[in-house]
Structure 1
Amino acid sequence: MTRDLVLDGLKGLAVVSVVFIHSVFWSGDSYTPAWLHGACLWLDVPLFFFLAGWSFSKVPSPQKAWQNLWRLQRRYMVFVALVWLGYLLSGHHLPPIRLVEWFLHDYHKAEWDDAVMGSMWFMRVYLGVSAVAITLIWFHERAALPVALVLVAALFFSQLAPDADWSAGWLPVVAFGMFYLPLFLLGYCHATGQLPGYWSALIALQAIWQLCCTPDLRNALIHLQSYKFPPQALYFAASWLSVCALLLMVRLRPVAWLFTRKPLLWMGRNAIYVFFAQGISATLMYAPVGLLNDLQLQWYVLLPPMFALNLYCTIMGARLLKAVEERVEKNLPTTSPPRQAPVPAPAARRATKRGA
Structure 2
Amino acid sequence: MSGRDNYLDTIRGIAAISIIIIHTAFWSGATYGVPDWMQTLTLAIDVGLFFFLAGWSISFKEKSPWNIFQSIIEIMKKWIFFIVFVAIISFKTTDLKSLLSSFCFNVSIPQFPVIAGSIWFLPVYICVTFINSIIIYIINTHSVTLESKIKNYCRYLIILLFLLLFDAQGTVLFPQIDSQWLFYSVPYLFGLIYGKTRFHFNVRQFVIGILLIAFAMKLNSSLLNLPINPMQNNKFPPNLTYLFYTYIGILCTIYFSNFFSGMKHNIFSHIGKKALWFYFSQGIGSSILFPLSVHININLWYLKFPVMAAINITITFICAEFLSSAYILICHYLSIFYNFLYNKALFYLAS
Give the TM-score of the pair, scaled to structure 1: 0.80
* Residue number in structure 1 paired with 2:293: 289
SS in 1 for 2:43: helix
1: CA distance between counterparts of 2:3 and 2:82? 30
* Residue number in structure 1 paired with 2:230: 223
SS in 1 for 2:339: coil
* Residue number in structure 1 paired with 2:20: 19
* Residue number in structure 2 paired with 1:212: 219
Mean Cα displacement is larger for which, 123-132 or 148-157? 148-157
> What's the CA shift for 1:104?
2.2
* Residue number in structure 2 paired with 1:85: 88
SS in 2 for 1:267: helix
SS in 2 for 1:101: helix
1:116 aligns with 2:115: yes
Question: For 1:37, which of 20, 36, 39 is the aligned residue?
Answer: 39
8 A Cα contact 1:274 1:314, kept in partner: yes
> What's the CA shift for 1:150?
1.8
Instruction: Specify whether residues 240 and 71 from structure 1 end up closer, same or farther in structure 2 by C-alpha distance, changes over 3 A only.
Output: same
Give the TM-score of the pair, scaled to structure 2: 0.81
SS in 1 for 2:60: coil
* Residue number in structure 1 paired with 2:145: none
Instruction: Please provide the CA RMSD for this pair.
Output: 3.2
* Residue number in structure 1 paired with 2:106: 106
Instruction: Specify whether residues 217 and 39 from structure 1 end up closer, same or farther in structure 2 by C-alpha distance, changes over 3 A only.
Output: farther
* Residue number in structure 1 paired with 2:167: 158
> What's the CA shift for 1:65?
2.9
Instruction: Specify whether residues 307 and 194 from structure 1 end up closer, same or farther in structure 2 by C-alpha distance, changes over 3 A only.
Output: closer
8 A Cα contact 1:112 1:118, kept in partner: no
8 A Cα contact 2:213 2:248, kept in partner: no
1:255-297 per-position Cα deviation (integer Å, ceiling 9, x unaligned): x58x7451101100111111111111111111221212xx452
Structure 2 regions of 5+ residues with no counterpart? 141-148, 344-351
1: CA distance between counterparts of 2:42 and 2:224? 16
2: CA distance between counterparts of 1:11 and 1:133? 20
Question: For 1:309, which of 308, 311, 334 is the aligned residue?
Answer: 311
* Residue number in structure 2 paired with 1:126: 125
> What's the CA shift for 1:227?
1.3
SS in 1 for 2:222: coil
1:7 aligns with 2:8: yes
2: CA distance between counterparts of 1:155 and 1:264? 33
* Residue number in structure 2 paired with 1:322: 324
> What's the CA shift for 1:154?
2.8
8 A Cα contact 1:57 1:192, kept in partner: yes
Query: What letter is aligned with 1:24?
Result: A
8 A Cα contact 1:186 1:195, kept in partner: no
8 A Cα contact 2:235 2:242, kept in partner: yes
* Residue number in structure 2 paired with 1:189: 193
1:168-189 per-position Cα deviation (integer Å, ceiling 9, x unaligned): x958x62112201121111111
Question: For 1:55, which of 54, 57, 77 is the aligned residue?
Answer: 57
2: CA distance between counterparts of 1:213 and 1:279? 33
2: CA distance between counterparts of 1:216 and 1:33? 25
Instruction: Specify whether residues 194 and 263 from structure 1 end up closer, same or farther in structure 2 by C-alpha distance, changes over 3 A only.
Output: closer
Instruction: Specify whether residues 260 and 299 from structure 1 end up closer, same or farther in structure 2 by C-alpha distance, changes over 3 A only.
Output: farther
Question: For 2:77, which of 70, 74, 95 is the aligned residue?
Answer: 74
2: CA distance between counterparts of 1:65 and 1:204? 37
8 A Cα contact 1:208 1:237, kept in partner: no
8 A Cα contact 2:36 2:230, kept in partner: yes
8 A Cα contact 1:144 1:189, kept in partner: yes
Mean Cα displacement is larger for which, 181-190 or 202-211? 202-211
Query: What letter is aligned with 2:167?
Result: S
Mean Cα displacement is larger for which, 97-106 or 32-41? 97-106
2: CA distance between counterparts of 1:310 and 1:114? 15
SS in 1 for 2:227: helix
> What's the CA shift for 1:330?
2.0
1: CA distance between counterparts of 2:210 and 2:183? 13
1:12-33 per-position Cα deviation (integer Å, ceiling 9, x unaligned): 0110110110110111112211
2: CA distance between counterparts of 1:280 and 1:329? 23
1: CA distance between counterparts of 2:311 and 2:198? 41
> What's the CA shift for 1:148?
1.7
